[in-house]
Amino acid sequence: MVKVAIYGLTTEGYLLAKALSKKGYTVNMIDGKIQMGLEITEDLIKRYDNMEDWAKSDTPVGFKGLMSEIVRECDYLFFTPKMKEGGEESFQEALIRLKEIASHLNRGSNFINCTPLPLGKNFEFIELIEKVRGINVNEDFNYAYFPLIPRKASSYTLGLSDLKKGKSISNLIFNLGNKPLLASLSSSEFLHFKYVIQNYSHLVSEFELSGRVKGEETVKKDTKEFYVDDLITFLFDLKNFSLNLKPTEPLHYFCSGIFKSIDLYLKNLISALKNLLKIKELKLSRTRLLVSWLIDDYEIRGEKRPFLNLMVSKLRDHIGEATSLSKEQIKRRSVRFPDMQEKHNLIISCSSEDSSLWSELKDGNILVKANQFLV
């Protein structure tokens, strides 16, 4: 029986675990904090649809296996830890996590890194494994780069340290139904960069230009809505990519332009809210801003929660009373405050899911979509 270990209790890691388990692999997920693992069984998959349900369950799942034993015995190890905001600090944190498990890697095993890294940093991962464990890549172990798409068990690309010797890794990935672009390790880093840049090229043009046609209802009707959630989805990757770019490189200018566009969007959101208050003739003292954003706190990338906090802080500084709603409040679609009769609530929805939940508002509440149209 082929054994697979997944390091990190994340949404993407759990999706991988479920897919692998259904294909007949023996899968263990490892909690790096307690350095223990748990086999992902059919019963556990039926009980917990996603990582959040599992993590917040009142029923103990019972971690039993030691991390060292699970890693030592596995044939494949997927690296899917929970990360913070992108940047140098995030990469150093990843190195610390890697060091924890590298000493237990067995000869003949396959290591698959699923975290988006700065350009060229996969080779530092390999060097660390070789140094800590005393084994050589392509001789004693195989290495792959499989940067998972947020909240999915798939990737745009699969990079292998050796395209021939890493064939068992590509076979396993393809067996899950994934069809990533197969490439060398260095090429896969640029392919993922290309994927992220293309995603932002479309998004930034939408956010920069669509807001200028606010009055054209026919245009809005035929245009897909994009939200703050979409704008921040790959911010972690973009921050990492920009680390190794020289200021004179065109790609550096491109990344800087995206960062500026994101900053500008917050300013445009604040202006749109102020304008709405004037149109509705609402006093600041009698208005409360409620930010609704259903964030998955178990994603590998950790950019959305800090950005939400930044957004709320900016709204407080430039407009007035503002707070973020809890996931429970959003799902109940109910906001109750002691002064409900005295204040109007402006609910700012940051994703299409949030907008759908708040589509029917009562009691003087007003919905503002944080999309490219700001309506």
DSSP string of 212-272, one letter each residue: GGTT-HHHHHTS---BHHHHHTTHHHHHHHHTT--TTSHHHHHHHHHHHHHHHHHHHHHHH
What residues pair up with 145 in beta bridges, in sequence order?
A: 113, 159
User: For residue 79, what pLDDT band results from cuts at 50, 70 and 90?
Assistant: very high
Contact call for residues 51 and 13 (beta carbons, < 8 A): yes
Average pLDDT over residues 41-63: 87
Whole-model pTM: value is: 0.93
**Per-position DSSP letters for 34-91, written without gaps between them:** TTEEEE--HHHHHH-SSHHHHHT-SS-----EEHHHHHHH-SEEEE-----SSSHHHH
User: For residue 134, what pLDDT band results from cuts at 50, 70 and 90?
Assistant: very high
- From the list 164, 310, 133, 305, the residue with the least C-alpha distance to 236 is 305
Q: List pLDDT tens digits, range 202-231.
A: 998 888 877 666 555 655 666 788 999 999
Rounded Cα distance, 224 and 45, in Å: 34
Q: List pLDDT tens digits, range 298-310.
A: 999 999 999 999 9
Domains of the chain in start order, with CATH, are: 3-184 (3.40.50.720), 224-369 (3.40.50.1400)
Rounded Cα distance, 15 and 36, in Å: 19
Q: Which residues contact 249 (CB under 8 A, 6 or more apart)?
A: none
- What is the pLDDT at residue 211? 64
Rounded Cα distance, 82 and 299, in Å: 7
Supply the mean pLDDT for the chain: 92
Contact call for residues 74 and 108 (beta carbons, < 8 A): no
Average pLDDT over residues 42-68: 87
User: For residue 359, what pLDDT band results from cuts at 50, 70 and 90?
Assistant: confident
Name the residue with tokens 């990469």.
Answer: 91
- What is the pLDDT at residue 360? 81
pLDDT of residue 374 exceeding 90:
no
Q: Which residues contact 175 (CB under 8 A, 6 or more apart)?
A: 23
- What is the pLDDT at residue 182? 97
Question: What is the CB neighbour count within 10 angstroms for residue 334?
Answer: 10
